[in-house]
Amino acid sequence: MKMCYDCGAQGSLEKTIQTRPYLENSGLRLEVEQTVFTCANCGAEHLGVTNIEGLHDVIAAAIMDNPSRLRGPEIRFLRKHLGWSGEDFAKYFKVSPSTVSRWENGKQDLSKQGDLLLRMCVSQLDPIASYHLHDAPDLEKDADMPTRVFKSTRGRWTRASF
């Protein structure tokens, strides 16, 4: 990146690697190493995350490794990782879309069988090939959700902590 998108200054960007919150829209509390370009002219920051698919694979694996029953933000992340809409998920699990919404919002627990089925789907099905990042969710909804940290070494994502 050679030009600031905010002020248009050429060659004024300083590149650093920083651990920052990852603002994807599942509600998980994540921190990842990100490339940060800071404009010397206006101070604007531009963030970059490479190999999003690899990052999401590692996040999904970290969720799957946790033996605890899946919680709302984890269910939402895994559903989106599979590329399913809420309606798709409801159809595959033979429930109503409102039930999926209650699972993802933590208002109703996913059954043990549902938990195992979702884990099996994630382990057996190919995830979507591209991701669209959205605005960050309200992280206060599930404040006791653990923060997970991930780092990238030469474009390969690994868990820094869990």
User: Which pLDDT does position 93 carry in this prediction?
Assistant: 96
Instruction: For residue 1, tell me if it sits in a domain.
Output: no
Give me the pLDDT at residue 26, please.
72
CB 1 within 8 A of CB 120: no
Does a structural domain hold residue 127? Answer: yes
- Full residue range of the structural domain in which residue 118 is found: 13-161
Task: Provide the Cα torsion 125, 130, 136, 139; round to 10°.
Answer: 20
Mean pLDDT of successive 10-residue stretches along the chain, which has 162 residues = 82 89 80 89 85 89 94 95 94 96 96 96 80 41 60 72 52
Confirm whether 7 is domain-assigned: no
Does a structural domain hold residue 29?
yes
pLDDT at 133: 42
pTM of the model: 0.72
- Residue 77 in any domain: the answer is yes
Q: For residue 103, is it within any domain?
A: yes
pLDDT of residue 67: 94
Q: Is 107 helix (H, G, I), strand (E, B) or coil?
A: coil
Residue 27 sits at φ, ψ, to 5 deg, of 100, -5
- Number of domains into which the chain is organized: 1
Tell me, yes or no, whether 5 lies in a domain: no
Residue 8 lies in a domain: no
